[in-house]
Chains A and B, each alone.
Chain A
Amino acid sequence: GQNIDQPTEMTATEGAIVQINCTYQTSGFNGLFWYQQHAGEAPTFLSYNVLDGLEEKGRFSSFLSRSKGYSYLLLKELQMKDSASYLCAVMDSNYQLIWGAGTKLIIKP
């Protein structure tokens, strides 16, 4: 079967750095997406990786290793507004998005 694993919950301190990991097993691979979802709101697109390596976008970076079936989202200089769930999703060989359950990130002052 297809599976996306990410930690259920993480806690970090304002101003610090946090890394949210995602491992996947899917039927084929056509890219990996990270979305941010605040409580009670819709997911918003953060990043897309299809080639191995690091993609940097401001305070957020996303890394992919296809051979390991692994990605991480790195958030720097954490702000209170970064408290949200972070969803990892993989596009499989049928171009369907397979979603993880999300990692709830709690930021403490």
Chain B
Amino acid sequence: DAMVIQNPRYQVTQFGKPVTLSCSQTLNHNVMYWYQQKSSQAPKLLFHYYDKDFNNEADTPDNFQSRRPNTSFCFLDIRSPGLGDAAMYLCATSRHPGQGTDTQYFGPGTRLTVL
């Protein structure tokens, strides 16, 4: 089945220790998104890729970086995690940005704990 996969599902890291979260998709979608979601809050868009074009949200901290080496994979790098970065990180994909019927499909998420 075509899907969005995130690994790992649960990640524990130490304060200040770099961590990488991964996302892969078999939908062959052009766009991949990374969201941060804290408990009982709306998902917050960090950045997205349209093919290889990177689009950073204005309020995304420099501590967060992303890489998309090919259509299928996208990575979220947190260079120096702080306690406030503990959250669920959601990867989503869509076929095209900016088309009104374009639905975003989400992976299962990675729950990050910072000790």
Contacts and interface: CB of A to CB of B under 8 A. Distances in A.
A32 to B, nearest CB: 10
Contact of A42 (B44, B99, B108): B108
Interface stretch (B35-43, B60-68, B78-86): B35-43
Contacts of B102: 95
The interface centre, meaning the residue of B43, B105, B111 with most chain A CB atoms within 10 A of its CB, is B43
Contact of A97 (B45, B90, B99, B111): B45
A86 interface: no
A96 B42 contact: no
Interface residues of A, number: 25
B100 A45 contact: no
A74 interface: no
Interface string A10-40: 0000000000000000000011010000001
Interface residues of B, number: 22
B101 A102 contact: no
Contact of A100 (B42, B99, B100, B111): B42
Contacts of B106: 42-44
The A contact surface, by secondary structure, is: loop
Contacts of A54: none
A102 B42 contact: yes
A45 B103 contact: yes
Given A100-B42, A101-B41, A104-B40, A48 B109 contact: no
A42 B103 contact: no
Interface of A: 4, 8, 30-31, 33, 40-45, 48, 50, 85, 87, 91, 94-97, 99-102, 104
Interface of B: 40-45, 88, 90, 97-109, 111
